[in-house]
A and B are shown apart, each in its own frame.
Chain A
Amino acid sequence: MWAYIVRRLLIGVPLLLAMAFVTFLFIQLAPGDVLAQYRENPSIPQELIQQYEARFHLKDPVVVQFGYWLWNLAHGDLGDSFVRKAPVAQVIRERLWNTVLLSLTSLLFTWLVALPLGIFAAVHQYSWGDKVFSVLAFLGMSLPTFFSALLLLYLVSLLGWLPLGGMVSANFESLSFAAKVLDVAKHLIIPTLVIGASAVAGLQRLTRGNMLEVLRQQYIVTARAKGLPEHRVIYHHALRNAINPLITIFGYEFSALLSGAALTENIVSWPGLGALMLEAVQAQDIYLVMGDMLMAGLLLILGNLIADILLAYADPTISAS
């Protein structure tokens, strides 16, 4: 089991490096060099530009630059953000937790809603409930996250129940701890709902499909023939098998979640990695873009690793091999 984990971790390292290299390469594709627009800006002093040139070895060939970047990376130095005038590592650290929080709540929401709905739809196939959920699932999958975010914001602005964006209210600092938690929770609702809605749809249909597939299997007939109550057949025998494929795609689900979060973060002004990435791209803040990219890749690899471990635990046929 541990050997398996270590193996997966080791595979992750070259993957991360490859991602970093690809990003680096694409950045180099930009005409001119990273500092081009800053050279043209008269308000930026020459010494600063020269400092950067020296620090990032911009006069050296690409491969060397990458080497230095990696070296710096190993020491925790991801370069500086030109726009924010702060080290990239620091900027990312500030935002990292926000995205993780949002991703976790979205994940929780999605699974807690989609699984029961999927099971219900499978067990009561072709019933009204199943058909209604099917249509809703399609609606959810087809509604672009940015659109549903806008719609939701519009609705909320009419009704006034929830704050309209951001992560904390203006008076955050002055609140008690409990009130702070509540405040963040209130701000979490809209982005979680937006991301969750489309994710739930897909997962519900997947769960339904898997459950239907499993309920057709011979061992389910065996379970009933043994005289087991129906709830045991469904929640113990069927569900355990239906979940395995879902765990397998957990890694990719997580990837989709991170992506989806980015756009939503931007629209509802949730201060996370995605919004950061966007600002960085729009401002052509190169090292921030790269650092953010790397962070996203890291989160993904972790997500995949967790999924792999969960699967090895859940599916006995795997740990045997």
Chain B
Amino acid sequence: MAREEENAEKRVEAAPRPSLALWQLGLRRLRRHRLAVAAFWVLVVLYLMMLCADFLAPYHYDNESRQHSYSPPTPVRFVRDGRLSRPYVYARSYTFDEYRRRVWVEDRSRPVPVRFFVKGDAYRLLGLFPAERHLFGLDRAEASGGSTGAAPGVPARLYLLGADARGRDLLSRLLYGSRVSLTIGLVGVAMTFVLGLLVGGISGYFGGRTDVVLMRTCEMFMMIPGFYLMLALRSALPPEMSSVEVYVLLVAIMSLIGWAGFARVVRGMVLSIRNREYVVAAQASGASHLAIIVRHVLPNTASYAIVALSLSIPGYILGESALSMLGLGIQDPHASWGNLLKEAMNVAQIRFHPWILLPGVCIFVTVMAYNFLGDGLRDAFDPRGLTREAG
């Protein structure tokens, strides 16, 4: 009888399958979420472009040309005299019609070729190495050659996305602006993460008086309308500050508002984990507080933390944009997507120069990408979804 049972057991346990770690399972599920994966790649592209902003942008963000104020996007042509040629543009200048509206006139006599790896405004690659080459642009000499057209001496400019009031290239400013807008979320989230984890972890783990006091403080912070608080805090400081100072300040303020919600959730999670059997077992076998926190509590909060943080990044981007748009954030001449929208605050301007709305589109795309990614992460790491739902 015993031998028969043994044989039966052997037959049944013949092929055990290796099990995956929780995060590997989650990653696999994430890959199935096509939108989240697409969002991830969109973000990768955006960040790569941000890193190469100097190289990709045809002009420096401060490169003005008042003669080209509010120039519409420069049409790039590929056909000349009926034949394909290298891309080129014409110099343009404007005059006013009887309604005081700008009318743009091209100088067709002189095609200015669009060159690649052209020498342009100087910059520092990675902040260290001086460089001059840009991916594409107009050669300075060719652009400013004399003309016999409508306005002699007006250099040609390549505005792929149009120009702002001071004739600065919008594309370039968007690329430089991405540096602020795309990083502020990451920096802010890092600060929130540390603060929230610390406070939430302590509060949840030790409980009692500490817990009550910390949580009441959190609730207070959460209840204050964020925007009002930001304005109030910002107003306490002098309006003229260097852009770097403003950046740091904005991040600090927003983290101050944002950490509370995260801390509360961390605390909730820590509380539930602390009471789970494996933690009690660890305590029973004499493990120290620190060991328990590191080995049991933290790994379980990790997946949630990632989801919560990626979903809160858009808040930082929007906060900075809102403040900058109101003139309380990043100042001219530095660019951020928010302060680029300042000019769009006037509806009349939008009607005449709709391209000034483009920074808003950039913000929208970035925020949406983070939302999709965060949502995908949440679905993928949801522990309930990872166990088989028995139909």
Contact = CB atoms under 8 A, between A and B. Distances in A.
User: Are A and B in contact, CB atoms below 8 Å, in the complex?
Assistant: yes
Interface of A: 15, 18-19, 23, 26-31, 138-139, 141-144, 146-147, 150-151, 153-154, 157-158, 164, 251-252, 255-256, 258-260, 262-263, 266-267, 274, 277-278, 280-282, 284, 286, 289-290, 292-293, 296-297, 300-301, 304
Contact of A150 (B223, B227, B350): B350
B351 A150 contact: no
B327 interface: yes
Q: Interface of chain B, helix or strand or loop or mixed?
A: helix
A144 B365 CA distance: 10
Given A138-B371, A277-B231, A281-B231, A18 B220 contact: yes
B223 A15 contact: yes
B308 to A, nearest CB: 15
B177 to A, nearest CB: 15
B347 A153 contact: yes
Nearest to B360: A147
- Pick from A258, A267, A281 the residue with the most CB of B within 10 Å: A281
B302 interface: no
B237 interface: yes
Contact of A144 (B227, B236, B367, B375): B367
Contacts of A27: 232, 235-236
A142 B225 contact: no
14 contacts: A27-B232, A138-B371, A138-B372, A143-B364, A146-B341, A147-B364, A153-B350, A164-B347, A252-B223, A255-B226, A263-B322, A266-B326, A278-B326, A289-B232
Contacts of A278: 231, 326
Contacts of B325: 146
Nearest to A139: B368
Contacts of B231: 262, 277-278, 281, 289
A19 B226 CA distance: 12
Interface in B198-234: 219-220, 222-229, 231-234
Given A29-B236, A30-B236, A141-B371, A258 B228 contact: yes
Contacts of A141: 371
A282 B345 contact: no
A58 to B, nearest CB: 16
B18 interface: no
Interface in B238-270: 238-239
B237 A300 contact: no
Contact of B232 (A15, A23, A300): A23
A284 B235 contact: yes
Interface string B5-44: 0000000000000000000000000000000000000000
Contacts of B350: 150, 153-154, 157
Nearest to A301: B223
Contacts of B321: 144, 146
Contact of B224 (A29, A142, A274, A297): A297
Interface string B335-357: 00000010011010011001001
Interface of B: 219-220, 222-229, 231-239, 314, 318, 321-322, 325-328, 341, 344-345, 347, 350-351, 354, 357, 360, 363-364, 367-368, 371-372, 375
A270 to B, nearest CB: 14
Given A150-B360, A258-B225, A142 B345 contact: no
B185 to A, nearest CB: 13
B232 A26 contact: yes
A30 B237 contact: yes
A201 to B, nearest CB: 10
User: Which 6 pairs across A and B sit closest by C-beta, in order of nearness?
Assistant: A142-B368, A259-B227, A147-B360, A281-B235, A26-B236, A142-B367
A122 to B, nearest CB: 16
A142 B364 contact: yes
A27 B233 CA distance: 8
A285 B371 CA distance: 37
A296 B225 contact: yes
Given A27-B236, A259-B227, A138 B364 contact: no
Given A27-B236, A251-B223, A144 B318 contact: yes
